[in-house]
Amino acid sequence: MNLLDGKKLSNEIKDEIAADVAQMKERGEKVPHLAAVLVGEDGASLTYVGSKVRACERIGFESTLKRLPESTTEEELLAIVRELNENPDIDGYIVQLPLPAHIDEQKILMAVDPDKDVDGFHPANFGKMALELETFISATPYGIMEMLRRYGVETSGKHAVVIGRSHIVGRPISILLSQKGPAGNATVTLAHSRTKNLADLTRQADIIVSALGVPNFVKADMVKEGVVVIDVGITRVPDETRERGYYLCGDVEFETVSKKASYITPVPGGVGPMTIAMLLKNTLLARQRHRA
Ligand code: NAD
């Protein structure tokens, strides 16, 4: 079994970006500036945004965190989005999801300038991704593709089963794996909550990407020998014996599945850190495009 070490790989990518930023500084150019908008006090969102801001500091990006109260109205948030769209100092920004229930997420994401949409959630960017045009690919699927490419995992002609059809993970990764090019050319099955006989499908899979958010859902009897397993799931499972009161659990029962897998990502330390690295990569791209 080979571990797809997202922590190590993401550090390599961050070092590469940091070297680019150092060169930008030497040339007297403006460095990339990422902003993040966080509404409310959701614990997981606070952790994610905190990691993104720290990562910016580490590689020499400028960063701005806009924290807004849970009571923020849709109009107020739209005004902030417009402000960020118009601010020439900001190269890219993200609006951390989920948003409070009284705010229409779709409306907010549609208002983000596609040229600054480093999360790649705007329909213009998603559409370009599907058409294989240059764009911002959302960070999680982008991170998975980069991981497969850098580890030299063969995907061409392989059967990939993606579990989960969300707009931010399952659907885009199913499109990317089927496209031409490195880490592409796979034959993809997209499974979801209405899929029948899922285990029959996963047992045929050469590659499984699991993005459903159910702890230990994929078990050893659902996979074949030599399978490549990408575990996107991150669930906080309550555990009073731990100081922070929970532990992070993936969708895959790592203990048993790893014994059959040729490659597997751990949770934590797999797809999560890659997601952050690729968000930074998109921000660097945004800076380069705005300069061009
Ligand atoms: P989501 O809740 O939007 O979608 C879940 C999908 O799973 C749905 O399409 C649903 O049809 C499918 N599903 C649910 N139950 C199923 C079942 N029994 N069989 C087959 N399919 C089923 O989730 P999401 O936003 O894509 O996130 C999925 C998981 O990935 C979560 O744990 C989330 O925290 C994690 N995540 C991790 C990262 C990262 O950076 N590592 C990024 C995004 C999401």
Q: What is the CATH number of domain 139-272?
A: 3.40.50.720
In this prediction, residue 291 carries a pLDDT of: 78
In this prediction, residue 290 carries a pLDDT of: 86
Measured in angstroms, how far is the CA atom of residue 149 from the centroid of ligand 1? 23
Is 52 one of the catalytic residues? yes
Residue 148 has pLDDT above 90, yes or no: yes
Establish whether domains 27-113 and 139-272 are of one fold: yes
In this prediction, residue 50 carries a pLDDT of: 94
Q: Which of 5, 91, 96, 251 is catalytic?
A: 96
In three-state form (DSSP H/G/I as H, E/B as E, the rest C), the secondary structure along 13-51 is HHHHHHHHHHHHHHCCCCCCEEEEEEECCCHHHHHHHHH
Q: Which CATH entry fits the domain spanning 27-113: 3.40.50.10860, 3.50.50.60, 3.40.50.2300, 3.20.20.450?
A: 3.40.50.10860
In this prediction, residue 110 carries a pLDDT of: 98
> Of all atoms in ligand 1, which is nearest to the CA of residue 251?
32
Q: Taking residues 5-12, what's their average pLDDT?
A: 98
Residue 123 has pLDDT above 80, yes or no: yes
Measured in angstroms, how far is the CA atom of residue 170 from the centroid of ligand 1? 7
pLDDT digits (tens, 9 = 90+) for 83-116: 999 999 999 999 999 999 999 999 999 999 999 9
CB neighbour class for 291 (10 Å; exposed up to 12, middle 13-18, buried from 19)? exposed
Q: What is the Cα 68 distance to its own chain's centre?
A: 23
**For the chain, what's the residue count?**
292
In this prediction, residue 13 carries a pLDDT of: 98
Contact 213, 235 (CB under 8 A): yes
Q: How far is CA 104 from CA 39, 98, 138, in A?
A: 13, 10, 20
Residue 150 has pLDDT above 90, yes or no: yes
Is 251 one of the catalytic residues? no
In this prediction, residue 108 carries a pLDDT of: 98
pLDDT digits (tens, 9 = 90+) for 154-174: 999 999 999 999 999 999 999
Mean per-residue pLDDT over the chain, rounded? 97
**Two tokens at 40?**
């409310």
Q: How far is CA 193 from CA 163, 164, 165, 189, 259, in A?
A: 9, 7, 9, 13, 27
Q: Ligand 1 pocket, 280 CB below 6 A?
A: no
Q: Ligand 1 pocket, 213 CB below 6 A?
A: yes
Residue 292 has pLDDT above 80, yes or no: no
Residue 240 has pLDDT above 90, yes or no: yes
Is 96 one of the catalytic residues? yes
Q: Report the C-alpha gap between 159 and 186 in whole angstroms.
A: 6
In this prediction, residue 233 carries a pLDDT of: 98
* 146: amino acid identity, one letter: E
Domain ranges of the chain: 27-113, 139-272
